[in-house]
Amino acid sequence: MSNTRTDTGTLLALTFVVSFCSFAYEFVYSELLTVMYGGTVTQYVITVGLYFFSLGIGAALSDDLDATDLGGNFFRTEVFLAAVAPAGFLLIVALNSVRIPQSIPSEVIWMTARLPVVVVGFLSGFELPLLTHMVDELEDGEATMPNWLRSTCGQIHEIMVSILGTVWNVKRTDGRRSGLSLVLAMDYVGGLAGAVVYARVLYPGIGLIPTIFVLALLNGIAALVFVAHFGDWAWWPVGGGKRTSRELSIGHVSKTLLVVCLVLTASYAGVVAKHDTADEQLSELYLEQQIENRYPPGAMRATVTSQETTTYQHVIRYNRTWTGTGPNPYFTGRTEQCLRLGSAVQLCESWADSYHQGLVDVPMSLVEPGPKTNVLVVGGGDWIAIDHLREYDVSVDHVDLDGEFMQQAKTDPFFRTWHDDAYEYDRLNTTTADGYHYLQETNETYDLVLLDIPGATDDDLLTLYSAEFYRSVRNHLSDEGVVATWGYSPDSYPQHHKAFVNTVGTAGFTNQLSYWVREDLDSDGQSERVEKFYVFAPGERRPLTGDGETAYVRTHEQYRTVKWHAVPRYRGVRVNSIFHPNYDILVDT
Amino acid sequence: MNTSMRRRKFLYTSGLGALGALAGCLGSKSPPPRKSSVVADFETSDGSLVIDLADETWVMSRYEPNHQSISGVSPIGIASAKGKGGGVGGRGATGRGSGGYSSAPRTKHGHAWFYGGDYADDWYEDHGNEVSRYGVGIAALGIAYLGSTEAMKDDAPDAGPVAWDETFDNPDDTVAYDLTSRNEFNRDGWYRVGTHVVGSDTDHDFRWECYDLEVTGLGDEKFTIEEQWKVSPRI
Among A174-178, A275-279, A476-480, B42-46, name the one with the lowest average pLDDT. Answer: A174-178
| Window 256-295 of A, Cβ < 8 Å to B | 294-295
Q: Are B79 and B66 in contact (CB under 8 A)?
A: no
**Alpha-carbon separation of residue B124 from A572, B35, B64 (angstroms):** 12, 10, 16
pLDDT in the model for residue A529: 86
- Give how far Cα B147 sits from Cα of A225, A491, B26, B150, Å: 59, 20, 34, 8
The number of domains in chain B is 2
Identify whether B225 is part of a domain: yes
Distance between CA atoms of A557 and B78, rounded to whole angstroms?
13
Residues of B in contact with A516 (CB under 8 A): 76-77
- B160 is in which domain, residue-wise? 31-63+76-231
Note the pLDDT of residue B13: 63
Per-residue pLDDT tens over the stretch A80-120: 999 999 999 999 999 988 877 767 787 888 899 999 999 99
* Residues B73/B154, Cβ–Cβ less than 8 Å: no
Q: Is pLDDT at A20 greater than 50 in this prediction?
A: yes
Distance from CA of B221 to the nearest CA of A (A): 25
Looking at the structure, do residues B119 and B175 belong to the same domain, yes or no? Answer: yes
H/E stretch holding B61 reads strand B48-61
Contact in structure between A380 and A464 (CB atoms under 8 Å): no
Structural domain includes residue B164: yes
pLDDT for res B71: 37
Q: Which of B30, B64, B208 sits opposite A569 (nearest CB)?
A: B64
| DSSP sequence for B20-40 | HHHHHHHS--PPPBPPEEEEE
Number of Cα atoms under 13 Å in the Cβ half of residue A544: 29
pLDDT of B27 strictly over 80: no
Which residue of chain A comes nearest to B159, CA vs CA?
A491
Distances in Å between the Cα of A383 and the Cα atoms of A57, A260, A307, A428, B70 are: 54, 53, 20, 11, 36
**Cβ-defined contact of B86 to A490 (cutoff 8 Å):** no
User: A103 or A312: which carries more pLDDT confidence?
Assistant: A312
Shared domain check, B137 and B44: yes
In a domain, B142, yes or no: yes
A491/B160 touch (CB, cutoff 8 Å), yes or no: yes
Q: What residues of A are labeled active site? A: 452
A12-30 mean pLDDT: 95
Q: Is residue A308 within 8 Å of A291, Cβ to Cβ?
A: no
Q: Are B115 and B15 in the same domain?
A: no
Contact A357, A376 (CB under 8 A): no
pLDDT given for residue A51 in this prediction: 95
Distance CA A39, CA A420 (A): 37
Statement to judge: residues B91 and B5 lie in one domain: no
C-beta atoms of B153 and A101 within 8 A:
yes
Q: How far apart are CA A51 and CA A64, in angstroms?
A: 21
Give tens-digit pLDDT for A210-247. Answer: 999 999 999 999 999 998 888 765 455 555 445 544 44
Q: Using a CB–CB cutoff of 8 Å, tell me whether B126 touches chain A.
A: no
Residue B147 sits at the chain A interface (C-beta within 8 Å): yes
Q: Which of A81-95, A378-392, B59-73 has the lowest mean pLDDT?
A: B59-73
**Which distant-in-sequence residues (6+ apart) come within 8 Å of B111 by Cβ?**
B39, B211, B228, B229, B230
8 A C-beta contact, residue A209 and residue A279:
yes
Q: Does B166 touch chain A (CB under 8 A)?
A: no
User: Same domain for B46 and B155?
Assistant: yes
User: For residue B112, is it left (φ>0), alpha (ψ between -120 and 50) or beta?
Assistant: beta
Give the mutation candidate from B8, B126, B154 for the A interface (greatest A CB count, under 10 A).
B154
Say what the pLDDT of residue A294 is. 82
* Probe site for chain B from A519, A571, A574, A589 (most B CB atoms < 10 A): A571
pLDDT of residue A364: 98
Task: Please compute the mean of the pLDDT values over residues B32-38 and round it to a whole number.
Answer: 93
Q: Are residues B15 and B89 in the same domain?
A: no
Are both B104 and B12 inside the same structural domain? no
- The answer to the question of residue B59 being in a domain is yes
C-beta atoms of B27 and A111 within 8 A: yes
pLDDT band, very low/low/confident/very high, at A47 (cuts 50, 70, 90)? very high
Strands A477-487 and A446-452: parallel
Q: Which residues contact A540 (CB under 8 A, 6 or more apart)?
A: A511, A564, B70
Flag whether B68 is in a domain.
no
| A565/B66 Cβ within 8 A | no
| B8 → chain A, closest CA residue | A61
Structure confidence at residue B39 (pLDDT): 94
Measured between CA atoms, how close is B200 to chain A, in angstroms?
A: 16
Task: Tell me which of A349-358, A470-479, B198-207 is least confident.
Answer: B198-207
User: B171 and B198: one domain?
Assistant: yes
Give me chain B's average pLDDT, please.
Answer: 77
Within a domain: B69: no
Assess if residue B37 is contained within a domain.
Answer: yes
Q: How far is B70 from chain A (nearest CA, A)?
A: 6
pLDDT of res. A426: 96
- DSSP, res A103: T
Mean pLDDT of B76-90: 32
Counted across chains A and B, CB pairs separated by less than 8 A come out at 169
| pLDDT higher than 90, residue A254 | no
Q: What is the pLDDT of residue A125?
A: 94
Distance in angstroms (rounded) separating the CA atoms of residues B35 and B61: 8
What's the pLDDT at A144? 56
Q: pLDDT by residue (tens digit) across A114-165?
A: 999 999 999 999 999 999 888 887 765 454 566 776 777 778 878 888 888 8
Minimum distance, in Å, between the CA of residue A483 and any CA atom of chain B: 19
Q: Check residue B106 and give its pLDDT.
A: 86
Mean pLDDT of B1-12: 57
**Rounded to whole angstroms, what are the CA distances from B191 to A28, A60, A528, B226?**
44, 56, 20, 11
- With beta carbons under 8 A apart, name residues in chain A contacting B96: 102
Mean pLDDT calculated for residue range A65-93: 92
The residue of A46, A63, A106 whose CB has the most chain B CBs within 10 angstroms, and thus the best one to mutate to test that interface, is A106
Q: Residue B74: is its pLDDT beyond 60?
A: no
Identify all chain A residues contacting B86, using CB atoms and an 8 Å cutoff: 489, 491-493
Looking at chain A, the whole-number percentage of residues with pLDDT higher than 70 is 92
Are the beta carbons of B233 and A490 separated by less than 8 Å? yes
Distance CA A472, CA A480 (A): 16
pLDDT at A452 over 80: yes
pLDDT, greater one: A509 or B48: A509
Q: Which of B22, B98, B233 sits opposite A494 (nearest CB)?
A: B233
Interfacial B residues in 169-198 facing A (CB < 8 Å): none
Sheet with A395-400, strands from edge to edge, namely A428-432, A395-400, A374-379, A446-452, A477-487, A528-537, A511-519, A565-566
Residue A66 confidence class, pLDDT cut points 50, 70, 90: confident
A568 in reach of chain B (CB within 8 A): yes
Whether A588 has its CB under 8 Å from any CB of chain B: the answer is yes
Mean pLDDT for chain A overall: 89
Q: What is the DSSP string of A249-313?
A: ------HHHHHHHHHHHHHHHHHHHTHHHHHHHHHHHHHHHHHHTTSSTTSEEEEEEEEEE-SS-
More confident call, B89 vs A421: A421
**Cβ-defined contact of A61 to B8 (cutoff 8 Å):** yes
Q: According to the model, what pLDDT value does residue B73 have?
A: 36
Q: B141: pLDDT confidence band, cut at 50, 70 and 90? A: very high
Closest to A572 (Cβ–Cβ): which among B11, B90, B127?
A: B127
What value, to the nearest 5°, has the Cα angle with vertex B60 and ends A589 and A467?
50
- The shortest CB-CB distance from B86 to any of A61, A492, A562 is to A492
Q: How many CB atoms lie within 10 A of CB B48?
A: 17
**Beta-strand (E) ranges in A21-77?**
none
Stretch A341-364: mean pLDDT, rounded?
Answer: 91
Contact: B155, A297; criterion CB under 8 Å: yes
Interchain proximity A510–B68, CB inside 8 Å: yes
Which H or E run contains B197? strand B189-199
Which residues from B are below 8 Å from A515, CB to CB?
76
Residue A332 contacts B where some CB pair is shorter than 8 Å? no
Q: Does B16 touch chain A (CB under 8 A)?
A: no
Judge if B54 and B2 occupy the same domain. Answer: no
Interface-testing mutation among A34, A61, A103, with chain B (most B C-beta atoms within 10 A) = A103
- B161 plus B91 within the same structural domain: yes
For chain A positions 16-75, those within 8 Å of chain B (CB to CB) are 42, 46, 50, 53-54, 57, 60-61, 63-64
With beta carbons less than 8 A apart as the criterion, state whether A538 and A475 touch: no
Decide: A229 and A35 in contact? Cβ < 8 Å: no
pLDDT at residue A180 in the model: 77
Same domain, B155 and B227: yes
- Give the contacts of A244 (CB within 8 A, at least 6 positions apart): none
pLDDT for res B11: 57
Q: Is 70 exceeded by the pLDDT of residue A302?
A: yes
Average pLDDT over residues B35-64: 91
Return residues 141-200 of A near B (CB < 8 Å): none
Name the percent of chain B in helix, strand, coil, to the closest 5.
20, 35, 45
Q: Using alpha carbons, select from B170, B160, B157, B139 the residue that is nearest to residue B209.
A: B160
Q: Write down the pLDDT at residue A244.
A: 45
Tell me which residues of chain A, numbers 93 to 122, contact chain B at a CB-CB cutoff of 8 Å. 99, 101-103, 105-111, 114, 118
Residue A219 has a pLDDT of: 95
- Classify A129 as helix, strand or coil: helix
Half-sphere exposure of A582 (CA within 13 A, CB side): 20
- Selecting from B74, B95, B131 the residue whose C-beta is nearest the C-beta of A103 gives B95
Q: Which of A171-185, A283-297, B101-115 has the lowest mean pLDDT?
A: A171-185
DSSP string, A191-207: HHHHHHHIIIIIHHHH-
Task: Say if B127 is an interface residue toward chain A (CB within 8 Å).
Answer: yes
What residues of A are in contact with residue B234 (Cβ under 8 Å)? 494-495
Which residues in chain B (87-116) have CB-CB distances under 8 A to chain A? 87-91, 94-100
* Domains contained in chain A, CATH given: 2-280 (1.20.1250), 294-346 (no CATH), 352-585 (3.40.50.150)
Do both B130 and B20 map to the same domain? Answer: no
B42 phi-psi bin (left φ>0, alpha ψ -120 to 50, beta other): beta
Contacts with A561 from chain B: Cβ below 8 Å:
74-77
**Does residue B109 lie in a domain region?**
yes
Q: What CA–CA distance (Å, rounded) separates A106 from B35?
A: 22
Closest Cβ–Cβ partner in B62, B84, B205 for A570? B62
| Chain B residues within an 8 Å CB radius of A570 | 61-64
Q: Which chain B residue shows the shortest CA-CA distance from A102?
A: B94
